[in-house]
């Protein structure tokens, strides 16, 4: 009875699930069931959740096709690493996170403003080029140590930090999408001409959404650079951008829960097949083809997973079982 009362509280319904998730994982870590190897997978999944959710904001919700998300990630990673190699301790870590996100956002503004003003999909080409340029720059300048990359990076990310950033960013983006500015972004995806005729400054909100997405990708990169000891330009190449896009399309363009499920499912598959790299790519490809054939809109379509959805499904099942007895009553 008490548990039921608690579950009816709106705050619990909103955050209960993720708090339970935090506690369970924390418990599994402290009793030693989740070892470092598994935890590395969890970190990768968490980073991919941020990347996928933020790319979904740009592509799935605002309708702007971006192919350079890994570029923003690398900016975040390098800026953060450069800071944490110089400023010690938690202040360095937090400053690094901020620097990583901010630097990615600034580059997002520089790339987004000129291209998003144009009609047509120039953003895809511009972001593709941008990511490649960033990679080449990082390969050739001294402060990033060229192709060898930066190593011996101090490690800060534990489960609590990871959870804070992943859950925090996801909640902020979900909130944003449920605001008037978020709806304005979505209206651009739906119909640009109608949106601007209804007073929506479409360039402004395309750029807004793009910069928020870039900032989050920068944070994701910064998390990478504060967990894994080495970053190299090649880690953030075109293949990584495609990986992120695959998660978003797999989960469903326009579904935040889809992106989360996509990051988790594909992350687990990668882990299970880690020792068969070639097979991994084959299974990945087959999985995508199957999804494209049977659910071209992605796992979730543009819908969100919710308790109400489970409840409805449950009621339908219940209805099936009880149909017969009801008929008899009548």
Partner 1 sequence: MSILKVEKLTKSFGGLTAVSNVNMYLDQGELVGLIGPNGAGKTTLFNLLTGVYKPTAGTVTLQRGGSDQVISGLKPSTICEMGLARTFQNIRLFKDLTVLDNVRIAMHKDVRYGLLSSFLHLPSFVREEKRLKEKSLELLRVMGLEDKKDELAKNLPYGEQRHLEIARALATNPVLLLLDEPAAGMNPAETARLTELIGWIRENYKVTILLIEHDMSLVMKVCERIFVLDYGMIIANGTPAEIQSDKRVIEAYLGEDVANA
Does position 190 interact with partner 1 (CB under 8 A)? The reply is yes
217 within 8 A of 76, measured Cβ to Cβ: yes
**CA distance linking residue 177 with residue 313, whole number of Å:** 26
Which residues lie closer than 8 Å to 44 by C-beta, 6 or more apart?
A: 267, 270
Residue 4 or 178 with smaller CB distance to partner 1: 178
Least CB distance from residue 252 to partner 1, whole Å?
12
Does position 202 interact with partner 1 (CB under 8 A)? The reply is yes
Burial of residue 94 (CB within 10 Å: 0-12, 13-18, 19+) is: middle
Least CB distance from residue 207 to partner 1, whole Å?
12
Does position 200 interact with partner 1 (CB under 8 A)? The reply is yes
Which residues lie closer than 8 Å to 267 by C-beta, 6 or more apart?
A: 41, 44, 45, 48
Site for partner 1 in 290-309 (CB under 8 A): 302
Which phi-psi region, left, alpha or beta, contains residue 254 (left: φ > 0; alpha: ψ -120 to 50)? left
Burial of residue 260 (CB within 10 Å: 0-12, 13-18, 19+) is: buried
Residue 4 or 119 with smaller CB distance to partner 1: 119
Least CB distance from residue 115 to partner 1, whole Å?
18
Does position 92 interact with partner 1 (CB under 8 A)? The reply is no
From 28-36, 153-161, 190-198, 305-313, span contacting partner 1 (CB under 8 A): 190-198
**CA distance linking residue 260 with residue 242, whole number of Å:** 17
Residue 45 or 216 with smaller CB distance to partner 1: 216
Sign of CA dihedral 252, 256, 262, 265: negative
From 44-52, 139-147, 200-208, 257-265, span contacting partner 1 (CB under 8 A): 200-208
Does position 182 interact with partner 1 (CB under 8 A)? The reply is yes
Does position 249 interact with partner 1 (CB under 8 A)? The reply is no
**CA distance linking residue 48 with residue 220, whole number of Å:** 8
Does position 201 interact with partner 1 (CB under 8 A)? The reply is yes
Residue 194 or 317 with smaller CB distance to partner 1: 194
Q: Where does this chain bind partner 1 (CB under 8 A)?
A: 172, 175-176, 178-184, 186-187, 190-191, 193-202, 208, 302
């Amino acid at each position: 009875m008490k548990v039921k009362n608690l579950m009816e509280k709106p705050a619990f319904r909103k955050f209960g699930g993720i708090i339970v998730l935090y506690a369970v994982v924390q418990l599994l870590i402290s009793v030693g069931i989740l070892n470092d190897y598994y935890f590395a997978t969890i970190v990768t999944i968490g980073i991919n959740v941020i990347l996928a959710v933020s790319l979904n904001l740009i592509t799935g919700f605002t309708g702007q096709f971006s192919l350079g998300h890994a570029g923003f990630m690398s900016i975040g990673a390098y800026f953060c690493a450069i800071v944490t190699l110089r400023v010690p301790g938690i202040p360095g870590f937090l400053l690094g996170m901020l620097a990583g996100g901010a630097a990615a956002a600034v580059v997002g503004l520089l790339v987004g403003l000129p291209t998003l003003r144009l009609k047509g999909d120039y953003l895809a080409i511009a972001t593709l080029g941008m990511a490649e340029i960033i990679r080449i720059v990082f390969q050739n300048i001294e402060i990033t140590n060229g192709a060898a990359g930066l190593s011996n990076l101090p490690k800060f990310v534990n489960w609590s930090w990871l959870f804070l950033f992943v859950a925090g960013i996801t909640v902020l983006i979900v909130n944003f999408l449920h605001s008037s500015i978020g709806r304005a972004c979505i209206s651009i995806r739906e119909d640009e001409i109608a949106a601007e005729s209804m007073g929506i400054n479409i360039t402004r909100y395309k750029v807004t959404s793009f910069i928020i997405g870039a900032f989050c990708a920068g944070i994701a990169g910064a998390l990478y650079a504060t967990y894994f000891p080495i970053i190299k330009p090649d880690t953030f190449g075109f293949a990584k951008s495609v990986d992120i896009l695959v998660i978003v399309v797999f989960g469903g363009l326009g579904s935040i829960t889809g992106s989360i499920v996509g990051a988790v499912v594909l992350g687990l598959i990668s882990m299970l097949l880690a020792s068969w790299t070639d097979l991994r790519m084959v299974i990945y490809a087959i999985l995508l083809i199957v999804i494209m054939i049977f659910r071209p809109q992605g796992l979730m379509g543009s819908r969100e997973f919710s308790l109400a959805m489970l409840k409805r499904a449950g009621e339908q099942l219940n209805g099936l079982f009880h149909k017969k007895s009801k008929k008899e009553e009548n």
